[in-house]
Amino acid sequence: MARMKFYVDNNRCISCFACQVACSSAHEVPVGINRRKVITLNDGVLGKEVSTTLACQHCTDAPCEQVCPVKCFYIREDGIVLHDKNKCIGCGYCLYACPFGAPQFPRDGAFGIKGEMDKCTMCAGGPEETFSHAEFELYGQNRIAEGKVPMCAAVCSTNALLVGDATEVSNVYRKRVMIRNANTTLKF
């Protein structure tokens, strides 16, 4: 079975925030929660600005899954890392284990109560019945089951954000690097 992966081409990202807004809108996530975040490094420094977009990377050996005391994370056969909000106790271990800062908590209450964790689902829903009202309410639109790419990649006008089978995404990356290298070596 194919393994699904994200790829962000920093040379193409123009920091338009379309992926971040489309994700939040499609899944109706609470204000302050961004399953996908656009980050610009060296903002305002001419020639040194670099933009990228971050979300759950759906790791093969997901650290969030390894540290969760209630086993709310699971990795699907296609490599998408999902979580069960009904099992989550809001301990925050996943947040500290994730090198990408993907897990987020909708509230920070008294005594460190965080509520159920939320993160990028690669638009693949959750453990509830596919296309059910419960699945949509907890996880948002299940575009993968509809045969579509995640919303963030669908709205990326520069094709900086790609998602799909790891082999295919890798081939696209390889072609882009070869084209870039050919263009830089032809300049006199």
Q: What angle do CA 88, 89, 93 make, to 5 degrees?
A: 90
What average pLDDT does range 28-53 have in this prediction?
A: 91
Contact 166, 5 (CB under 8 A): yes
Mean pLDDT along residues 155-183: 92
Whether 111 shows a pLDDT value over 70: the answer reads no
- Whole-number pLDDT of residue 65: 97
- pTM, two decimals, is 0.88
From CA 57, how far away is CA 122, in angstroms rounded?
A: 9
Q: Say what the pLDDT of residue 16 is.
A: 96
Q: What is the pLDDT of residues 78-93, one digit of tens each?
A: 999 999 999 999 889 9
Using the predicted structure, report yes or no on whether residue 109 has a pLDDT greater than 70.
Answer: no
Q: Which residue has the tokens 């954000």?
A: 161
CA dist 67 and 151 (Å) reads: 29
User: From CA 83, how far away is CA 139, in angstroms rounded?
Assistant: 9
Instruction: State the CB neighbour count (10 A cutoff) for residue 118.
Output: 23
Mean pLDDT of the residues in the chain: 91
| Per-residue pLDDT tens digits for 57-70 | 999 999 999 999 99
Decide: 165 and 149 in contact? Cβ < 8 Å. Answer: no
| Residue 20 pLDDT greater than 60, yes or no | yes
Amino acid in position 38 = V
What residue spans of the chain are helical by DSSP H?
A: 18-27, 63-67, 93-97, 133-139, 151-154, 166-186
At residue 125 the predicted structure's pLDDT band, cuts being 50, 70 and 90, is very high
